[in-house]
């Protein structure tokens, strides 16, 4: 029974790893859409990203359940047991080696995904700032060289026409 739980953990980590490969690809496509200001393409990418995030969350819950079951079957596994220590408790050397490799690769993929996400957030903020500035120009708004009491820009609007309803 215990060997099947370890194998189940390997399977789940493999699926999570594949999901992060997909997240990296989506992040790169999102980067290109943000750079080229392809709003239609970005909308589709965001939908894909949302589905993938839900899938990863489901897999992470499954991983948690397997780890909980392993802890129930082996009293040496505690809440504060590190993954490397846990892998050393695997029933065979082959399972231990496979888990360590999967964990190492997954850690690298998560780190890469976070870098891509952070870069995309910077691009998105820059794009939103550019849109805000352009809309302010169209609307005749100007930003004063000082900040308001709450740290916000002080914006004044110039009347472009007199309209009485």
User: For the chain, which domains are there?
Assistant: 2-145 (1.20.58.300)
* Distance of alpha carbon 53 from alpha carbon 19, whole angstroms: 9
**pTM for this entry:** 0.73
> Which of 147, 155, 10 lies closest to 92, judged by CA?
10
- Check residue 139 and give its pLDDT: 63
- Check residue 69 and give its pLDDT: 87
- Check residue 1 and give its pLDDT: 47
Q: How far is CA 56 from CA 15, 25, 47, 70, 74, in A?
A: 9, 15, 14, 21, 27
- Check residue 122 and give its pLDDT: 87
Average pLDDT of the residues in 79-84 = 82
Average pLDDT of the residues in 112-133 = 83
pLDDT(158) > 70? no
CB-CB contact of 106 with 59 (8 Å): no
Average pLDDT of the residues in 3-9 = 88
> Which of 54, 52, 81 lies closest to 67, judged by CA?
81
Average pLDDT of the residues in 57-66 = 93
- Give the residue with greater pLDDT, 165 vs 21: 21
Q: If residue 77 lies in a helix (H) or strand (E), which one and from where to where?
A: none
Dihedral angle over CA of 161, 155, 142, 37, nearest 10 = -100
Average pLDDT of the residues in 7-28 = 94
């Amino acid at each position: 029974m215990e060997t099947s739980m370890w194998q189940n953990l390997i399977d789940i980590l493999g699926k999570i790893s594949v999901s992060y490969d997909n997240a990296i690809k989506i992040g790169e496509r999102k980067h290109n859409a943000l750079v080229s200001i392809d709003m239609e393409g970005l909308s589709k990418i965001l939908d894909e990203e949302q589905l993938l995030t839900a899938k990863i969350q489901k897999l992470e819950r499954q991983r948690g359940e397997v780890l909980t079951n392993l802890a129930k079957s082996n009293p040496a596994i505690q809440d504060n047991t590190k993954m490397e220590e846990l892998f050393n408790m695997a029933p065979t050397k082959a399972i231990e080696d496979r888990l360590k490799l999967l964990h190492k690769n997954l850690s690298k993929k998560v780190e890469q995904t976070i870098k891509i996400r952070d870069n995309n957030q910077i691009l998105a903020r820059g794009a939103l700032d550019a849109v805000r500035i352009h809309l302010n120009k169209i609307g005749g708004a100007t930003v004063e060289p000082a900040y308001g009491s709450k740290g916000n820009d002080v914006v004044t609007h110039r009347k472009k026409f007199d309209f009485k309803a």
